[in-house]
Every structure is written in C-alpha cells, then in structure tokens.
Amino acid sequence: MDLTDSEKEQVIGLIAAGKPLPARFRASLFEDVRETELIWPGKTTEVERTVLPFQSIEHIDEPRSETNAQFDLFSIDENSGRQSGGWTNKLIWGDNKLILSSLANGPLRAEIEAAGGLKLVYIDPPFDVGADFTIDIEVGDESVTKQPSVIEQVAYRDTWGRGIDSYVAMLSERLRIIHSLMSQDGVIAVHCDWRIVHHVRMLLDEVFGADNFVNELIWRYGKMSNATQRFPQNHDNICVYSVGTSHTFHPVRQSDSEYKTRFVRHLRDNKIFVKEVKLSTDKLITGRMKKIEKSLGRKLRDDDVLFDFDTEFKTQDDVFYDISIIKGNAEERLDFPTQKPELLLSRIVAAFSNEGDLVADFFCGSGTMLAVAEKIGRKWLGADLGRFAIHTTRKRIIHVQRELAKKGESYRAFEILNLGSYERQYFAGIDPSLPEEQRAASSKQREEQFLDLILGAYGAQRSEQLPGFQGVKDKAAVLVGPLDGTITQRVVSRAIEQARENNIQRIDILGFEFEMGIKPVMIDEAKDLGVILTLKYIPNDVFDKRAIAKQEIKFFDVGYVDVKPIYGKERSVTIELKNFAVFYAQEDADATAAGLRNGQAKVVVDTGQVVRIAKDKKGTITREILTNDWADWIDYWAVDFDYESQREIITEIVDGEETSSWTGRYVFENMWQDFRTKQQRQLNLTSAPHSYAMPGSYKIAVKVIDIFGNDTTKVIPVKVK
C-alpha cells in the first residue's frame, strides 16, 4: 500500500468518522485501478436488473389493408396476408432503463438472439435541452405548443437538469445494460456534441474498452453562427465503439456533393464523364454538359469518358460535411425537436450493419433511425419515454410501409409495446418478481399508501364517511381505481348505485385504465338516475411527489368517440367516425390574455378547445376558436375489424421459470388507418370497407389519437350475414 503514515492516519480518521475518502486515495487503496477513469459523486457500477413483462398493445403489418409487397424476409399466413413468422419490429413506450433491463434479463432476450442478436445500437440522448419535450402542433393554419408531460419534465430534472453528474450517471447505467444486450460483433454509435463528448468518450472507454474504439465521426452540419469570442461550434460528434474484436463495416463511397464538385472541375477542363452525366438530375452538371456539346458541335459519346468513377473517388472519411440540417421545406421534416437527417443515419446504418441485421435506438424520438432501418432492410427495435414520440414514430413507420408497398418492396410488421401496469407497480415500489399472491398483497398495501397522494394530486380530501368512495372534492364523491387494474362498467355501475343509496349527486371516478367505450354508456346511465358522473385518467406523473407538491398534475377526462358501421355487399363493413370529444386544458385563457402585450397573440388549449388569443395595439382582446369542428382534434385513427381475435399474452419469469398468461385484454390489430402529416392535413372520416370471410358476429375496435398523442378506443359489435 503506497501511503505515508500521515495518509494512513487520515484514512483511518475519515473512516472512523463515517466520512467519504478523497478520490486521490483510490489508486493506493484498491487493486485493478484503471489508468484513466471518469469519476463523479455517487458513481456505481450497479445496474437495473428488474424484469417487467412487456404488454403488446398494438400490431401493425398492413398499411390500409392493401399491401401487394413481396415479403422475402419472413413467412406469411396465406389465408390473411398477415405476417405469421420471423422477427416483428418493436416500438416500446416507457422508461428506457426499465425497458433495457427487461430486454437484457427477460424472456424477450431469446427472441432478440434468435433474430441474430443486436448488431448496431445508435442513441442520441439529449443534453441540456430543457424544452426538448415541447412540440409545436399544427391546427389549421395555426400551431399550438404541446407542453411536456410531468413525467417528461421529471426525466429532464432528474437526468439533465441536475448537471453533468446526473447525466453521466444516467448514461453510464444505460450503456452498461446495452453492452450486456449486444452481439459480440456489434457496434454502438453515441451521438453527442461539444458539451458532453469528452465524458461520453471516457464512459465508452470504461464500458466497451478503449481498445474497441472505432471512430469519432464529425457531422459538420453547416449551421451559421455569429460567435465573436471563439470559432463557431458547427458540428456534432458520433462516438463509435465495437463490442468485440471484429465488427461489420462497409466502406462508403464519397458523397454525391463531393462527386459534383470534382465532376464540375473536370467539366471546366473539358474532361467529360458521360455515363454519370446521363444519370444526373443536377441542373448545374446537365447545364454545363449542354454548353460543352454546343462548343463541340455534337452530342457527347460514351467514349468521351476519361476517368473511372470507382477508382477516381476515395471512400468517405470520418468528417461528414455534405449532410446539412433538415431544411424547413424538406419532406422528412416533422418539426420534432432533435430530429436528425435520414441521410446521416442511413450512412451509419449502412456502414456498420448488414441487410437483415437487428438494429436499435433507445432514445428514438421521431423514429429517424427506425425509418432508415425499415427502408434499407434492417430489423429494428426502438424505445422512447414520450407518448408523442411513440405516436410520431408510429405514423412515420406506417408511411414508410405504404411507400415500400407501392414499390412492391418488402417490409416488416411492427408492434407497439409498453410495461403498462407493471411499470406503475415498479414506481409504487412493488417487487415484480414476487409470486402472484404476494405481489397482489403488496400491491394492495402500496395502493393504500399512494391513495392519499392521488387524492392530494387531484385536490380531493380523504374521507371515510362515504361508503364505496375514498375522498371528496367540491361536493363530489371521489372513487380511485386500482393501481394495476381496469375500471369496468360493472365498477362504475356499482358506484352509481352507491351514490343513489347515499343521496350523492356527483361522483368523480379516477383510474389508470378504463374499459373501452365506457364513457357515453355510463354517463347517460348516471344522468338518467340523477347522478352527474365524471371519468378521469390518473396520469403516471402522480408518482412524482415533487410534481404533486407544485400542483403540476393534470387529470384529463376520458375521451368520447362515436362511430357508425355501414354494411355493404359481400359481408363488408365500413366504419364512419361520427364524433370525438376531449377536455384538455394546458393554460388558463384569461390568465394568458392578461399577460399579453399590445400587438401580441398566443394559441392556447383551454377547456377542450384550441384558442387563439390576441391583443391589438389598443389593448382589445379577441378569442378565436381554432378547433371549430370535432375532427380538428383528431390526428390519427385506426380500425381493427376483428377485435378479440388475438389475446394479449404476457411472459413472466416466476421463481426462475418462464410462465405465459392471458391478461384479459386483446391486442389491437391495426388493419386500416388514416392520419395527418405535415404535407397532408386532410383526414378521411370513413374507412375502407372490410370483407369478412365468414358470416357471424364480430367486434370492431376504433382507436382515435388526438393532436397531443393521447388515444381513445371504442369497441362496437357488428353482425354480417
């Protein structure tokens, strides 16, 4: 031990006093100390090992039920045209730490390994961007700002808002789990910028090994800057490491823009490269070609070629200067924060993976990595914390599927997963590895502990005086649903009955999940019996005590959907949307109006309407409702014409063994859908007809997703002859 007597006494004194040892003693006190290491307060090599079951909430493999694609990557059910085998791409909503832990240690790992293993991971974890979850959403000719959910704000506060220590702790744990999940010939690419790249490099050195460094790619995106005290920061960094000693790499030919520069130079010297000119759509090149033909007095011939493209041009180096940020009028632009160009991601995916490989992005945002993977024939897996990110990615992938289907090219099915009630149990402190009876007992105990928090977040008072109810708010009795269950029509009917027995005229029912189509039926039933009924969702944000203390929690009414089945010939049914209602309020319209300066205007969401509030130069305030029609609230809707045809089966590890069980729910098979895009704002309110193979009774589920990414589903029965 290389310590002086004085240092030894200091160490003993600190230990006796229960105080931490200074970092300078690390090399002397511990064996196998790294030559260089990134240290921060509270550093640990422990990682999350919780395994939660994944719940499959939606399955999509037929964009509009009109695919003619040749599926050469997987098997097809000849009777339905739907994918029946092979890897199904996965889009997962939730905390990526829990997602990664459940992938690495749970049953889904075997499916990943059967698909060839995880060959490439690209992640772009945002840093120091407090408005990262704030999104502008188009409503008619205006746009409204979607405020971040509390759970997104908490993620920012806990991960990025506390400074570099919390950021590197977050990233370190996730990198360690990712490393354990990857194939031995896999590659990881971490996208960052000047603020964090030095920390990222050291983390990757620790987790993947300094000897496995592959590249630090520089993406020079060409953004202008007026910096006066330093050179403008004009690039991002992408750190690439391998898992083992070998990995896939395909050299990339120099970019088209570099080719054009060189080609134009050759044209200036009257050196002609005709074969490429004939294929070019670049106006500069074709224009100069015509000038040369005019000067020669003849058309250019193939034998005018003076050099060979493949030997003349070198491979792309580690500085990407030819890929700009996404322009405002670009087709791929989604106005999603931190969105990266598809060309950038396609270059990385094409270089470090093969066709058919499985690639992943655990901070997928708007889904650029996944869209690129779909287009160039890679299997994919993506995850994100934001509900709106998942919704944006869903639409984007369906659009890619449609384009590939038009070309007759193959694409894969994908499913949307989450951790659902199991994630809520985890937040509540319930051990998911406990046997079912113990877990149920623990769940009941924890529910009691969180009941006061939920009532407090809702602004209600705990009450033991109302049978069947737990609280009261503004003369309304309040019923709080279970932590891991669904509020059914039976539960609501019983609450209405108890309200009548106790002469209660108003009841509010709060739940994490509600039975589909519950609202109009139960509200009308309650009204007929003299009871005013309100149904509200409990947001997952309720698990953050700080948000409750700051009164940041918002409970939204269960949405209302009305649909009509239209029967046609040959056992066909078409679905027509008849009505949709939501009851959101992000900001108080009166408070917003009072805060405006003369000549200012702002779009807000208030009492279920998107409203443009303006104050003219004289101080006169006007309010213009932008959501004049119920359809203005709808961003996306989809139909499952045979709901209850596929049960939701979850696989859990109990006492070290895998067990599968039916959750009592069904997977939404997305068989037809329509949605708005940045380029196409119109929405069809009538589906394409669906023909049933056999007469009989069926159930149709209709899922409507509003402009903020929240969904409402209704199930209706139909009978075809």
Which pLDDT score is estimated for 392? 92
The CB density around residue 98, as the number of other CB atoms within 10 Å, is 21
> Is the distance from CB of 362 to CB of 178 less than 8 angstroms?
yes
* Domain 55-252+317-418 belongs in CATH node 3.40.50.150: yes
Question: Which residue bears the tokens 């700080």?
Answer: 546
Question: Which residue bears the tokens 């109302």?
Answer: 466
> Is the distance from CB of 265 to CB of 307 less than 8 angstroms?
no
User: What average pLDDT is seen over the chain?
Assistant: 80
Q: Name the nearest CA neighbour of 670 among 54, 55, 56.
A: 56
Query: Two tokens at 659?
Result: 């067990």
**Region of residue 600 (phi > 0: left; psi between -120 and 50: alpha; otherwise: beta):** beta
d(CA 507, CA 407): 55
Q: Name the nearest CA neighbour of 213 among 180, 190, 182.
A: 190
Question: DSSP assignment of 642-709, as one string?
Answer: EETSSEEEEEEEETTEEEEEEEEEE-EEE-EEEE--SS-----SBPPPEE-SS-EEEEEEEEEEETTS
DSSP annotation of 305 = B
Which pLDDT score is estimated for 81? 41
DSSP reduced 3-state for 572: strand
Q: Name the nearest CA neighbour of 698 among 668, 715, 718.
A: 718
pTM: 0.77
Lay out the sheet containing 476-480: strands in order across: 461-462, 471-473, 476-480, 506-511, 532-537
Q: Low-confidence residues of the chain, pLDDT below 50?
A: 64-82, 129-132, 150-151, 257, 259-262, 264-272, 276, 306-312
Sign of the alpha-carbon dihedral angle for 453, 454, 458, 460: negative
> Is the distance from CB of 66 to CB of 674 less than 8 angstroms?
no
pLDDT tens digits for range 210-236: 999 999 999 998 766 777 788 888 899
CATH 3.40.50.150 in the chain: give the residue spans: 55-252+317-418
User: How far is C-alpha 433 from the geometric centre of its chain's CA atoms?
Assistant: 27
Decide the pairing of beta strands 560-567 and 379-384.
Answer: unpaired
Find the helix packing angle between 387-406 and 368-375, rounded to 10°.
20
DSSP reduced 3-state for 3: coil
User: Which residues make Cβ contacts (< 8 Å) with residue 558, sequence separation at least 6?
Assistant: 514, 518, 519, 535, 536, 537, 712
CATH 3.40.1340 in the chain: give the residue spans: 443-549
d(CA 241, CA 219): 17
pLDDT tens digits for range 5-31: 777 888 888 888 887 777 666 666 766
> Which element (helix H / strand E) includes 484?
none
d(CA 226, CA 701): 54
Selected from 2.60.40, 1.20.120, 3.40.1340, 2.40.50, the CATH number assigned to the domain covering 443-549 reads 3.40.1340
Sign of the alpha-carbon dihedral angle for 632, 637, 639, 640: negative
DSSP reduced 3-state for 404: helix
The CB density around residue 229, as the number of other CB atoms within 10 Å, is 4
List C-alpha distances in Å: 610 to 139, 552, 556: 8, 20, 15
pLDDT tens digits for range 19-67: 777 766 666 676 655 666 788 777 878 888 888 889 888 999 765 444 3
Which pLDDT score is estimated for 132? 45
Query: Two tokens at 382?
Result: 């993506």
Buried b (16+ CB within 10 A) or exposed e, 397-406: bbebbeebbe
d(CA 103, CA 356): 20
List C-alpha distances in Å: 61 to 78, 370, 415, 682, 691: 14, 15, 8, 23, 18
Which pLDDT score is estimated for 613? 87
Which residues are paired to 703 by β-bridges?
A: 638, 713
